[in-house]
Amino acid sequence: MITPEQVWQTVKAIRTHNPLVINITNNVVTNTTANALLALGASPAMSHAVEEMDELPALGNALVLNIGTPERSYIESMFKACETATRCNIPIVLDPVAAGMTRLRIDICTRLLDSFSMAVIRGNASEIMALAGEKSLSKGADSTNTSNEAIDAGKFLARQRKTIISISGARDYITNGEDVLTIDNGHPMMPKITGLGCTATAITGACVGVCSDHLLAAADAMAIMGICGEMAARDAQGPGTLQLHFYDALYNLDRASVQAMLRTHG
Amino acid sequence: MITPEQVWQTVKAIRTHNPLVINITNNVVTNTTANALLALGASPAMSHAVEEMDELPALGNALVLNIGTPERSYIESMFKACETATRCNIPIVLDPVAAGMTRLRIDICTRLLDSFSMAVIRGNASEIMALAGEKSLSKGADSTNTSNEAIDAGKFLARQRKTIISISGARDYITNGEDVLTIDNGHPMMPKITGLGCTATAITGACVGVCSDHLLAAADAMAIMGICGEMAARDAQGPGTLQLHFYDALYNLDRASVQAMLRTHG
Amino acid sequence: MITPEQVWQTVKAIRTHNPLVINITNNVVTNTTANALLALGASPAMSHAVEEMDELPALGNALVLNIGTPERSYIESMFKACETATRCNIPIVLDPVAAGMTRLRIDICTRLLDSFSMAVIRGNASEIMALAGEKSLSKGADSTNTSNEAIDAGKFLARQRKTIISISGARDYITNGEDVLTIDNGHPMMPKITGLGCTATAITGACVGVCSDHLLAAADAMAIMGICGEMAARDAQGPGTLQLHFYDALYNLDRASVQAMLRTHG
């Protein structure tokens, strides 16, 4: 079960320990995900230089992979980084951006999952369904399915790949293949900001970096995203102001807000 | 002739149909142009992975090419993407960023234009003059000429390349080689935000994705840019707040604002 | 000695002459550093395409190199660009991002410094100490040492490499190996925005592009950063609003603010 106190302890641990999150991510969100990690209290490192991937992941508390712009050099770096992270027991979080959109993307994900063990895979419904072998087409980075349609796919994938699956949507579902946690926070304007899904994945990396129960860590991340999104929406006139206030909310998030705002079921 | 109703119908069509705009763009504006497309109601996909360019453009309603950071892998992806888009009849919009600044840039543009048919080319005066073979040096991404100095070059280029030329500046000129539409909206602080020209091109992609009259579509895009820029400037204390409010304006743009604010001549 | 009038004259020169600053920088900050340069009054050009590096740097008033995402193609471009800049007498500014974090990064810096003469090297304490051969580990792009611990390393490096060393931190130190200027402006929330160090380096490029005394130019840049950071912090509720107001402050910076706010010692 996910409780406000669980979420808050993870936020506090991030601010106290400043986990170093190594990100090999797409070139749309390098800036915004680094800012979100900093605002929350984590330390980001962003790189896609294969020549340092025998060293860099070993320094981190988590490794985040995001295939949003799957150029060859990024992917080559991911495989090298996974080898290092696996050797050093660093948890890996994967964001299979638009996995169902092209053959290239599903191939990369399959090769990564066949080769390495992931702590968490966070995606939207279309992405999780595509990874589980179901037909669901991404539209750009956006899902064409709602998150509840992907629960079975998520549970199957969690068992198949021995990992945690985090499905984001109006309701977020987080599962280890047996248990399913849900988070109902968030705001309908959030999908109008590019890369908030990628931000959720980066923050999942920060949570996994301080909380060894990866099911709870993945749920904490979605709770932080959703609550901060709601806080940001209070003063937002559109997606521009929403994004801005979102960083401020990550920075200012306190125990009282988590306790008052967390909405979870089951 | 461009009318408020024409502009508004295009905005409405974007919000109804959410055209998927495939962008191979420079790594300065991947985030900001994706956000602008989302705020207006379109769906962006950003990638420069050549391995998926036999598939990705076929899914889109428009393909946008921007040569701002003309690294080899980006350019290779553009040629592959153009082949796919041409085969599938997807309109292509080209932004010849700083075309006159280096030999590399003019060479890339010439090769693209010799090989493929563009729906629209959107650039500033220096860029359009450079493409037409006239001497005009870009200063970074900025023009050293005013837009009216490029009208003849634009008309020549439109006829030569059988395309629409959209020249942005204090006054925007859009021409098919015969007719010239003008848009007088905008704000003098807009050039102090990096990549608003690139944003104009991305939004031209969204307009072309829902409006098959590419002359009108290209003018609609400049009208949307200019009107939203003016709306954003009302509350801006500088380019930081201007950019922020610009996204909000794209999101909130309504028929009444278009009717009250559109300024067009000829 | 650094005076308010010196800083202000440099700001004025940037706004009058709009120096073109060529940036080969990491893909986290391409957008934000271009925006900062524009807001202050400079003209940015961002590229990492090796094929134009025989031309592009020759057009600029300064060349800025930033190794934050040291992918092969970026580094190859830097070496080519340095050849051109050196041949054309264009000053080069280097940001050795996270130099001490991996072997790759220190190797790149060493090869650059062995091959070319830099006008200014700007880094945080860990980076400067790593370049001087001392042990100091970067945590992501963040320093694990305070700036005063790096003064001796900075002076040594300035003499060894015949350059200006600019060490940023709560107090900034700028040295030619003999004299040390200090700037005490800034705000503790600034490190919560990604890439403000990279922005300091880009602005150092703008200052070097208009002020041939590179010791003063490097100090001017840190003064501009710190003062604008303080101005921005007045209205900031968190790092999101801070970043936004920072661009506005660069745009609105005036003589009275510089005179009232500059804090310098020795």
The CATH number assigned to the domain holding A231 equals 3.40.1190.20
Residues of chain A predicted below pLDDT 50 = none
pLDDT > 70 fraction of chain C, expressed in percent and rounded: 99
Q: Taking 90 as the threshold, does the pLDDT of residue C266 lie above it?
A: no
Q: Which residue of B has its CA nearest to C45?
A: B140
Q: What is the per-residue pLDDT for A93? A: 98
Name the nearest CA neighbour of B168 among B205, B200, B144: B200
**What Rg value do the Cα atoms of chain C yield, rounded?**
16
What value does the mean pLDDT take over residues B79-107? 97
Query: In whole angstroms, what is the distance from residue A151 CA to residue A104 CA?
Result: 25
CA atoms within 13 A on the CB side of B66: 31
Q: What's the domain count of chain B?
A: 1
Q: What is the per-residue pLDDT for C214? A: 98
pLDDT > 70 fraction of chain B, expressed in percent and rounded: 99
CA B75 to chain CA mean position, Å: 18
Q: What is the per-residue pLDDT for A266? A: 58
Residue C31 has its nearest CB partner, among B29, B142, B237, at: B29
What value does the mean pLDDT take over residues C132-151? 85
Residue B266 banded pLDDT, cuts 50, 70, 90 = low
Chain B: nearest CA to C179, how far in angstroms?
35
Mean pLDDT score of chain C, rounded to an integer? 96
Q: What is the per-residue pLDDT for A33? A: 98
What value does the mean pLDDT take over residues B184-195? 97
Q: Which residue of C has its CA nearest to B237?
A: C248
B241 phi/psi in degrees, rounded to 5: -65, -30
Residue C34 has its nearest CB partner, among B102, B194, B240, at: B194
Chain B: nearest CA to A77, how far in angstroms?
14
Exposed/middle/buried for C28, CB within 10 Å: 0-12, 13-18, 19+?
buried
Residue B185 banded pLDDT, cuts 50, 70, 90 = very high
User: Higher pLDDT residue, C139 or C110?
Assistant: C110
Report the 10 Å Cβ neighbour count for A79: 17
Q: Taking 90 as the threshold, does the pLDDT of residue B265 lie above it?
A: no
Inter-chain touch B194–C45, beta carbons under 8 Å: no
Inter-chain touch C35–B191, beta carbons under 8 Å: no
Structure token pair of residue A71: 């150029």
Query: For B41-75, how does the pLDDT look when each residue is reduced to its tens digit (9 = 90+)?
Result: 999 999 999 999 999 999 999 999 999 999 999 99
Q: Is the dihedral of CA A152, A157, A162, A165 positive or negative?
A: negative
Query: For B95-131, how does the pLDDT look when each residue is reduced to its tens digit (9 = 90+)?
Result: 999 998 999 999 999 999 999 999 999 999 999 999 9
Query: For C165-195, how does the pLDDT look when each residue is reduced to its tens digit (9 = 90+)?
Result: 999 999 999 999 999 999 999 999 999 999 9
Which chain A residues touch B if contact means CB-CB below 8 Å? 26-29, 31-32, 68-73, 98, 101-105, 139-142, 191-195, 236-241, 243-244
Q: Provide the residue range defining the domain that includes B12.
A: 4-265
Mean pLDDT score of chain B, rounded to an integer? 96
Angle among Cα A12, A18, A24 to the nearest 5 degrees reads 125
Chain C: nearest CA to B236, how far in angstroms?
9
Q: Taking 80 as the threshold, does the pLDDT of residue B137 lie above it?
A: no
Give pTM, 2 decimals: 0.97
Q: What is the per-residue pLDDT for A145? A: 87
Judge contact between B258 and B227, C-beta under 8 A.
Answer: yes
Name the nearest CA neighbour of B41 among B5, B4, B12, B8: B12
Residue C143 banded pLDDT, cuts 50, 70, 90 = confident
Beta bridge partners of B167: B123, B173
Query: For B197-253, how does the pLDDT look when each residue is reduced to its tens digit (9 = 90+)?
Result: 999 999 999 999 999 999 999 999 999 999 999 999 999 999 999 999 999 999 999
